[in-house]
Structure 1
């Protein structure tokens, strides 16, 4: 644990990675220089890649009465306010660890410093049904941490960093020139591509009856989403009304950002 302006913050010390990370929620408590940096990618413990575009210089905090200063990348952290890694540990020099007692010893300006870790109480993960049952049967107070199976906002489409502004002025000019030269490639499609010399076709065996599968039953929420997506594609000229004897049902697949992807189930045709 540490403190900033008498406010407690939760800190993880991790010797398994390279850089320091700071949760953006801390910015309201500090007066530090936040600077944009060229886009960088890091791989976190669960294998997901995170984009970094900002860095905090000379971030200061107190930890068990000792003041520390370091640089840190800004990145949303689910369970901690700050993660200190090899970048910070290497500044301490020789560090003696005692993992049994959660203790680390080092020297700062020839002064012996001893930091003690906070012992985490036993935590048990429960699903929605188990939580509901516990709340009905136990008249006690609960401290709950919700963990989503979907990556937090740092990886959603709405929080994808603007790559253009992460570049320097020279790189921005080069990128804009590339986009202008290949405008037809990078522009948003407005209709179907032109006919090519070899358009895709599915050739059926001779004598095969038309494949006509009835639509699936959809809940009202999905039905509305399907109608909306179909209307948008018709307006864009991507699809059109058809009197074909062939028919395949639609399947909606939810994306990580919560929106729907419309897919056609060609299982019977294939």
Structure 2
């Protein structure tokens, strides 16, 4: 399963209070799963016979006891009610979107999209969730550093391409220069300092296009 969301979660179990960095994945559950990373961080000791976890945080010892059969039953009942409520809300939402598509009404939010009536509910909800990724104008500067950065490495012993530049008319050159100047001004691109850089924008492809 691909993880594309993370969140810092504050939680408390009795007197024990803490916050952890969690991966967010779709599950048919309403629980916080304290897995091996948390057990490693707090150096938790598990008693297999009593199924208890004990650990020390800031000089204070905590013991997590397992749920009683009654607590397990109540927890299952609450989880089932929440799941049924969520399913009812999703069904009502889907029906309302269907009526919206039939009536032909349009909705607009910050100029991101003019209508969602022709899109499936799963697509429209996805676009609404990530609408901040599609601003009307690109922000200045490069994106912030992420937790995982990627790079493209050169292949060893590869011949550097040396091909004639693409011939452009003055209008195309002027437009290309305008776009490059705009990108430089916003900080989205920088002048290349690589000795392998080819100082052209467009070059012919292998197929001649």
* Greater relative CO, 1 or 2 (CA 8 Å, sep 6+): 1
Q: Hey, which of these two has a bigger chunk of helix by percent?
A: 2
TM interval, short-chain normalised: 0.3 to 0.5
Q: Hey, which of these two has a bigger chunk of strand by percent?
A: 1
TM, length-normalised to structure 2: 0.34
